[in-house]
């Protein structure tokens, strides 16, 4: 079960948008947060005024975004005392669209995504080893344990949440924001569930957290980059199976 997100992850989620005045941008940010499990089912969202201030947009823009989220079935708005907008997280994220995307992507593009992600996640792991607090390490331990028995889409969400918490532990708002953007754009592809059983990557995550806890930034970076490259290699194999069963 994904735990409540860290302050760093929440700060990245509600950071001002680059393109202000666009309801689509607000909608996309919140959809990504719900799909990542950063906003839990039944969690109450900030008020329209608070969201507008955090995203740097108008309340009208936020209202339009909430309408879109209600149409997607991801938000429920209640009236009266105790009312507000509440998250309705889907039980499972759809896998089929991502498999079709993997079928369509070229091997060079897939490798390029891996290069970009390993650069961001590797740098985050190194900085996390140098800067993380005791609270950060505790959250990373919880995120690691979430991965142990997770299966299918839940394993994908746990994987994505783990790397976002590593980025938050790096104490770099810009790096955390880049991680969040990449997770929104490519996370469903990068961590596409390949097997129906528990993820085999738990030992890799345990080793990364151990290196971070020991303050060994170079080892944390190396282990993270290797973990991501292993994930890309598995996706390459699945891609070839999809285009030539």
> Do 121 and 174 belong together in one domain?
yes
pLDDT above 80 (res 197) = no
Q: Does residue 2 sit within a domain?
A: no
The per-residue pLDDT for range 199-217, each reduced to its tens digit, is 678 999 999 999 999 999 9
What spatial distance separates the first Cα and last Cα of the chain, rounded to whole Å?
Answer: 34
> Do 224 and 185 belong together in one domain?
yes
> Do 172 and 107 belong together in one domain?
yes
Among 39, 64, 87, identify where a domain stops.
87
Q: Does residue 1 sit within a domain?
A: no
Owning domain of residue 36: 7-87
The per-residue pLDDT for range 113-128, each reduced to its tens digit, is 999 999 999 999 999 9
Output the pTM of the full model: 0.77
Per-residue pLDDT at 167: 94
Among 27, 61, 87, identify where a domain stops.
87
CATH number (domain holding residue 113): 1.20.120.530
Please list the helix, strand and coil fractions of the chain in percent, rounded to the nearest 5, in that order: 70, 5, 25
pLDDT above 50 (res 2) = no
> Do 25 and 133 belong together in one domain?
no
Among 87, 109, 134, identify where a domain stops.
87
For residue 217, the SS3 value is helix
Chain centre to alpha carbon of residue 245: 30
């Amino acid at each position: 079960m994904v735990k409540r997100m860290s302050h760093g992850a929440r700060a990245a989620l509600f950071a001002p948008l680059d393109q202000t005045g666009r309801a689509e941008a607000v909608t996309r940010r919140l959809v990504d947060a719900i799909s990542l499990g950063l906003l839990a089912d039944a969690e109450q969202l900030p008020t329209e005024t608070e969201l507008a201030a955090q995203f740097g947009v108008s309340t009208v823009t936020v209202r339009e975004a909430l309408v879109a989220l209600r149409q997607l079935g991801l938000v429920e708005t209640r009236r009266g005392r105790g009312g507000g907008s509440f998250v309705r997280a889907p039980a499972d994220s759809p896998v089929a669209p991502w498999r079709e995307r993997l079928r369509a992507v070229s091997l060079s593009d897939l490798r390029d995504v891996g290069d970009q992600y390993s650069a961001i996640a590797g740098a985050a792991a190194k900085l996390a080893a140098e800067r993380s607090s005791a609270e950060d390490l505790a959250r990373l331990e919880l995120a690691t344990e979430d991965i142990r028995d997770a299966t299918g889409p839940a394993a994908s969400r746990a994987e994505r949440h783990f790397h976002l918490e590593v980025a938050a532990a790096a104490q770099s708002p810009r790096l955390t924001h880049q991680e969040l953007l990449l997770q929104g754009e490519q996370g469903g592809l990068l961590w596409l569930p390949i097997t129906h059983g528990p993820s085999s990557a738990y030992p890799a995550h345990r080793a990364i957290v151990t290196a971070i806890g020991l303050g060994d930034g170079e080892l944390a970076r190396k282990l993270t980059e290797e973990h991501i490259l292993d994930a890309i290699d598995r996706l390459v194999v699945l891609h070839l199976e999809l285009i030539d069963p």
